[in-house]
Chains A and B, each alone.
Chain A
């Protein structure tokens, strides 16, 4: 009897192990099948040289306003306030052209938020200029579009003014063919750098330091 019990126990354990192995194998195959059905492709960075042509095959980016005065503008922000570039005279300003449909912009925005906090005491301001379409002929549609931009800015936690470009401000800035496009304006209102597309955080910070520093030196030279 005892021998029979041992054999029965061994058979039960063996069957249990077989069942467990079968279930584990089934789960593994299911996971592999699910991965194969939904492949996730990682898009690679096209080029590290910001002046190189992007995959869009546009001509290499050349700052259209290098060492020129930044074109003046007055736009409304998401709170309805009028914001002019002239309001920031004596400060370094980052002008970030972006849109709610632009994924690379959403990578850059958190960096701008942190850098703004870091350098605000030294005289930095960031202005986000939304290039989302605005239907100026349809008030109802316009209100919805502005609300969508405002909601998107809130979701992204943007801590600097976000402006609606209902006056084609992008035109005097070279047309802004791709987003994000960022201009760095020094304390004297001169454009000292510009980048197109997603660039390295360190490059953004270096341009901010340049904008803060170059205008400061120029102002000291004038006084």
Chain B
């Protein structure tokens, strides 16, 4: 075996491995840093807790969510709230369950793909119905 040739191949192989490890590590870090998973999870938590808090309020109420949500689509129904970036797979979506008392219902969809991005959302409780919608005017 030609020792020089072998050593050269090994050196190239080592350099390739080091480069690929560095690349992989940066890719993993970059994908986490640029992903919306933390914001999605926190938004889903916040909305489900807002529903729970408003269930505990006798009478009607309306609350404006204090953060910009223009990056996310949201679907709320009787059993929970789902937050996702339009087009992403089911696995990546954040879902938080809540339990409403009998007679109560929840509904509402914030669709970010339809028209202009919706940045401000409101949660309204009127009677036994929770409605998630775009804020209109001052709350």
* A, B bound: no
Residues of B within 8 A of A (CB): none
